Amino acid sequence: MTKISGNDLRAELSRRAFLSYSVAAGALGLFGPSLLAKGARAAEANGAVMSGSHWGVFTAQVEDGRATAFVPWEKDPHPSAALEGVLDSIYSPSRIKYPMVRREYLEKGIEADRSTRGNGDFVRVSWDQALDLIAKEIQRVEATYGPQAVFGGSYGWKSSGRLHNCTTLLRRMLNLAGGFVNGAGDYSTGAAQVIMPHVMGTLEVYEQQTAWPVVAENTEIMVFWAADPVKTLQISNSIADHGGYAGLDALKAKGTKVIVIDPVRSATVDFFDAEHIRPKPQTDVAMMLGMAHTLYSEGLYDSDFIENYTSGFDKFLPYLTGDADGVAKTAEWAAEICGVPAETIKDLARRLKGSRSMLAAGWSMQRMHHGEQAHWMLVTLASMIGQIGLPGGGFGLSYHYASGGAPATDGPALSGITDGGAASGGPEWLATAGVSAIPVARVVEMLENPGGEFDFNGNRASYPDIHLAYWVGGNPFTHHQDRNRMLKAWEKLDTFIVHDFQWTATARHADIILPATTSYERNDIETIGDYSNLGILAMKQVVAPLYEAKNDYDIFEAISDKLGKKAAFNEGKDEMGWLQSLYEAAAKQGKAKGIEMPDFETFWADGIVEFPITTGAQYVRYAEFREDPLLNPLGTPTGLIEIYSKNIEKMGYDDCPAHPTWMEPLERLDGPGAKFPLHVAASHPFHRLHSQLNGTVLREGYAIAGHEPCLMNPEDAAARGIADGDVVRVYNDRGQILTGVKVTDAAMKGVIQIYEGGWYDPLDPAEKGTLDKYGDVNVLTADIPTSKLGQGNCGQTVIAEVEKYTGPEVTVTVFTAPAAAE
């Protein structure tokens, strides 16, 4: 076992890390070992404290109780430049300082006018008054309507940390209060995570990939299909290890051929100077079918692999050839739809078959109407190429996310505090606790249609009648689609309660708002590396809680106390008691695996324990299946890769046939009946994690004229008389937003790019459909499910028009606290 103490690590902070990150300017001298008291808790001190976040491990420099720099861990192969914003999130002007209640709600309770939510008229209250209001409202709703009336699904990315996991803590409290309705699945891979178990017998999207060293050694052509790993690898759900960047560096150093398939010239295209193929958005399935047809018609496909490892190709083939529907899915047919020349499609198919090739797909192409088809067709194409289970060949659905493929250690898994509900069967995100669960992205439909029936992966259920929603660690007023429809639906709620540390649009639309701490104001424990499990980090408190902020844990413990359930909530433990028990459970598991870990006190003093990598660097996904598919079958009904699924056939869904199929989305660029001329690529932001950090200094580096950027092709801009730096109004039938234009050929003609996560800032909160002043792209997107199978969100299904903004000057106000909250 490798074990390096926190002191050693801090002492190792190198000149390289210092020089490449301006945030550390002037800090180097302060990191000498003499200043590094063992296990320093610098809440009110000077010194250096190691901690971590979604963006990686860092050492905080603290002066007079204030954090002044976050310096990346010396062993981080590619620290995130966002660390400056992570630090600033503690002190940003958008911090929520005190418990607040909407004035009208305070005066009239649930009789308050619900249409005025979001108008900024709040009253500061004491902690006790706020907690009392909440406990009584939970009791009222549970007693009057039962647990089916409380929505605790509260989806969101929260912060890292296994104890202060606010969404789990909310559900822990709600379980003690009597129960709640949960959300199933997630916004990230809503379609893929439901279709893949039918096709591969497993989720794929959150699983380890063939290790990067194997890819670097064997892969001849790496295809990043709708994936921008240079951007998206910055963060992880636990604490980012950034191991994927080492993989990208290795490919580049070796000169491996990289092809990126993306309508936008991404950071990954630039990093590799990659061959760049630009399909029209939402048409990848057609392009893949064109490639599959080429392989078939030219006799190139691997019929042995299809024969021995897949099931149902014979039922897919008539569709591919057109025998079934009269339309052969030729490269020429595909070219008409996706805009990529037929010869390019054919050539790509031939090259991928003729070399060791890896199809590394991102997730945007399943976050759209009929998104299930994209990864299903990708697997079908990879099966026809026939390299699944070979070193560096096949497909991978997580090379762009949380460093899938970074070699895994043999370390034990670190568990976290639980929600205390009944054990759920299957993966946590598909079969969650709660009295019932709705597919997470159907939340607005649930509010609109209580009692209405919905399908989900072969099941049929009805929507509950929700009166109270409680949100922590998520930001539905940025993450959910079709904002104006959502605002109306939200009026269904008697009460909406939110904890956050910043005045997000969600907090502004709440009736009761409680100020949470950031994770830098409390102690926690977390895994480093979602896939690699490099070690366990003590996330030590960096500074004392600001203003009146409290930990979500303490808030829910206090509410549980008011409900007479305190002892059940805390199980007799305080913060350090919990951290010790979580660590000791991992140490026990480690011991059984032959990994000796230090006792808790030593670990906490050292700040980190690291685990050894033994065979993880040689891992080849599906090698065993390839070696013997009978002895090592997949978890599908046939034990094989299902190109045709009898289970899906039985469901009989009109929007998800039993084999991969091209289906027109609701709307697309140049699609039939397209009402607007531009597609909006509503992808993930480079400098943020969704909406997180939008309220920080980082915004100064990317905002254009104070608005969220909108990338636009020079031809599209010229046709509309728009110049670089102009403020434009982007609109469709669902809403209108202001953005600042960057004219660039990075955006293909007909496509504009506006990242998701911009904070919604209504010009007139009382007017439905009002102009959003900053640039929340989800004002424009469609709130439809991917299909009845996955019920995922379609954040990428959106077309719009753009015009130069000529209206009255507006002031963006969403990044400072409402006046009453100062």
- Contact window for ligand PGD (CB under 6 A) among 292-300, 361-369, 650-658, 742-750: 361-369
Beta-strand pair 100-102/512-515? antiparallel
Question: Is residue 235 involved in binding ligand PGD (CB under 6 A)?
Answer: yes
- Contact window for ligand PGD (CB under 6 A) among 351-359, 501-509, 614-622, 811-819: 501-509
214 binds, among Mo ion, ligand PGD, none (CB under 5 to 8 A by kind): none
565 binds, among Mo ion, ligand PGD, none (CB under 5 to 8 A by kind): none
Closer residue to ligand PGD in complex, CB, 281/785: 281
Do residues 671 and 664 lie in contact, with contact meaning Cβ atoms separated by under 8 Å? Answer: yes
Q: Residue 224: count other Cβ atoms within 10 Å of its Cβ.
A: 26
Closer residue to ligand PGD in complex, CB, 611/815: 815
Which one among 87, 214, 472, 613 touches ligand PGD, defined by CB under 6 A?
Answer: 472
Question: Is residue 502 involved in binding ligand PGD (CB under 6 A)?
Answer: yes
Closer residue to Mo ion in complex, CB, 421/474: 474
Beta carbon of residue 343, minimum distance to ligand PGD (angstroms, whole number): 19
- Contact window for ligand PGD (CB under 6 A) among 538-546, 575-583, 585-593, 774-782: 774-782
Question: Is residue 442 involved in binding ligand PGD (CB under 6 A)?
Answer: no
> Which residues lie across from 747 on neighbouring strands?
264
Residues 788-807, one symbol each (x = binds ligand PGD by CB under 6 A, - = not), give -------xx-----------
Closer residue to Mo ion in complex, CB, 159/188: 188
Cα gap 413→483, rounded to integer Å: 39
Cα gap 200→622, rounded to integer Å: 10
- Contact window for ligand PGD (CB under 6 A) among 19-27, 415-423, 499-507, 564-572: 499-507
Helix, strand, coil tally for the chain in percent (to 5): 35, 20, 50
Question: Is residue 474 involved in binding ligand PGD (CB under 6 A)?
Answer: yes
How far from 706 is each of 87, 698, 809, 817, CA to CA, in Å? 21, 12, 12, 17
Q: Going along 630-701, which residue ranges are E strands?
A: 641-642, 678-681
Which tokens is 540 given?
Answer: 């030590």
118 binds, among ligand PGD, Mo ion, none (CB under 5 to 8 A by kind): none
Total chain residues near ligand PGD (CB under 6 A): 63
Q: Dihedral angle at the C-alpha atoms of 327, 328, 330, 336, nearest 10 degrees?
A: 0
Closer residue to ligand PGD in complex, CB, 49/277: 277
Do residues 476 and 443 lie in contact, with contact meaning Cβ atoms separated by under 8 Å? Answer: yes
Return the residue nearest Mo ion (CB atom).
188
Phi then psi for 366, rounded to 5 degrees?
-110, 0
Closer residue to ligand PGD in complex, CB, 273/307: 273
Which one among 616, 685, 758, 762 touches ligand PGD, defined by CB under 6 A?
Answer: 685
689 binds, among ligand PGD, Mo ion, none (CB under 5 to 8 A by kind): ligand PGD
Question: Is residue 156 involved in binding ligand PGD (CB under 6 A)?
Answer: yes
Which one among 153, 213, 243, 279 touches ligand PGD, defined by CB under 6 A?
Answer: 279
- Contact window for ligand PGD (CB under 6 A) among 292-300, 364-372, 383-391, 558-566: 364-372
Closer residue to ligand PGD in complex, CB, 507/634: 507
Closer residue to Mo ion in complex, CB, 188/661: 188
Closer residue to ligand PGD in complex, CB, 40/86: 86
Closer residue to ligand PGD in complex, CB, 193/310: 193
Question: Is residue 504 involved in binding ligand PGD (CB under 6 A)?
Answer: yes
Question: Is residue 500 involved in binding ligand PGD (CB under 6 A)?
Answer: yes
CB-based burial label for 273 (10 Å; 0-12, 13-18, 19+)? exposed
Contacts of 524 (CB under 8 A, 6+ apart): 160, 161, 162, 163, 164, 539, 579
Question: Is residue 266 involved in binding ligand PGD (CB under 6 A)?
Answer: yes
Question: Is residue 375 involved in binding ligand PGD (CB under 6 A)?
Answer: no
Indicate if 157 belongs to the active site.
Answer: yes
Cα gap 201→218, rounded to integer Å: 26
367 binds, among ligand PGD, Mo ion, none (CB under 5 to 8 A by kind): ligand PGD
How far from 485 is each of 368, 737, 778, CA to CA, in Å? 18, 15, 11
Provide the CB-side half-sphere exposure for 149 (13 A, CA).
16
Closer residue to ligand PGD in complex, CB, 625/759: 759
Stated as kind and residue range, the H or E segment containing 584 is helix 575-592
DSSP H helix total and E strand total for the chain: 29, 29
Indicate if 470 belongs to the active site.
Answer: no
Which one among 13, 30, 166, 730 touches ligand PGD, defined by CB under 6 A?
Answer: 166
Question: Is residue 781 involved in binding ligand PGD (CB under 6 A)?
Answer: yes
162 binds, among ligand PGD, Mo ion, none (CB under 5 to 8 A by kind): none
Which of 155, 206, 245, 309 does the annotation list as catalytic?
Answer: 155
Identify the CA nearest to 766 among candidates 449, 478, 491, 475.
491
Do residues 139 and 174 lie in contact, with contact meaning Cβ atoms separated by under 8 Å? Answer: no
Closer residue to ligand PGD in complex, CB, 176/682: 682
Phi then psi for 67, rounded to 5 degrees?
-75, 130
Beta-strand pair 453-456/56-63? unpaired
Provide the CB-side half-sphere exposure for 502 (13 A, CA).
26
Do residues 748 and 669 lie in contact, with contact meaning Cβ atoms separated by under 8 Å? Answer: no
What 3-state DSSP class applies to 134? helix
Which one among 778, 786, 787, 791 touches ligand PGD, defined by CB under 6 A?
Answer: 778
Identify the CA nearest to 305 among candidates 316, 317, 297, 313.
313
Which of 21, 73, 105, 157 does the annotation list as catalytic?
Answer: 157
Beta-strand pair 495-500/468-472? parallel
Closer residue to Mo ion in complex, CB, 59/188: 188
Which one among 180, 376, 456, 501 touches ligand PGD, defined by CB under 6 A?
Answer: 501
Which one among 122, 151, 180, 187 touches ligand PGD, defined by CB under 6 A?
Answer: 187
Stated as kind and residue range, the H or E segment containing 287 is helix 284-297
CB-based burial label for 37 (10 Å; 0-12, 13-18, 19+)? middle
Which one among 148, 234, 527, 696 touches ligand PGD, defined by CB under 6 A?
Answer: 234
Q: Which residue has the tokens 């409390």?
A: 522
DSSP 388: T
281 binds, among ligand PGD, Mo ion, none (CB under 5 to 8 A by kind): ligand PGD
Which one among 134, 163, 216, 516 touches ligand PGD, defined by CB under 6 A?
Answer: 516
Beta carbon of residue 258, minimum distance to Mo ion (angstroms, whole number): 24
Residues of this chain that bind Mo ion (CB under 5 A): 188
DSSP 517: P
Which one among 204, 372, 756, 776 touches ligand PGD, defined by CB under 6 A?
Answer: 756
Q: Going along 335-416, which residue ranges are E strands?
A: 357-361, 394-396
Stated as kind and residue range, the H or E segment containing 352 is helix 342-354
> Which residues 551-590 are close enough to bind ligand PGD by CB under 6 A?
552
Beta carbon of residue 24, minimum distance to Mo ion (angstroms, whole number): 30
- Contact window for ligand PGD (CB under 6 A) among 262-270, 344-352, 404-412, 573-581: 262-270
Which tokens is 564 given?
Answer: 């007479």
Cα gap 146→258, rounded to integer Å: 55
Cα gap 112→107, rounded to integer Å: 8
What 3-state DSSP class applies to 95? strand
Catalytic residue set: 155, 157
* Residues within the interface to ligand PGD (CB under 6 A): 156-159, 164, 166, 187-188, 225-228, 231-232, 234-235, 261-264, 266, 279, 281-282, 284, 362-365, 367, 400-401, 472-475, 479, 499-502, 504, 516, 519, 552, 681-686, 688-692, 756-757, 777-778, 781, 795-796
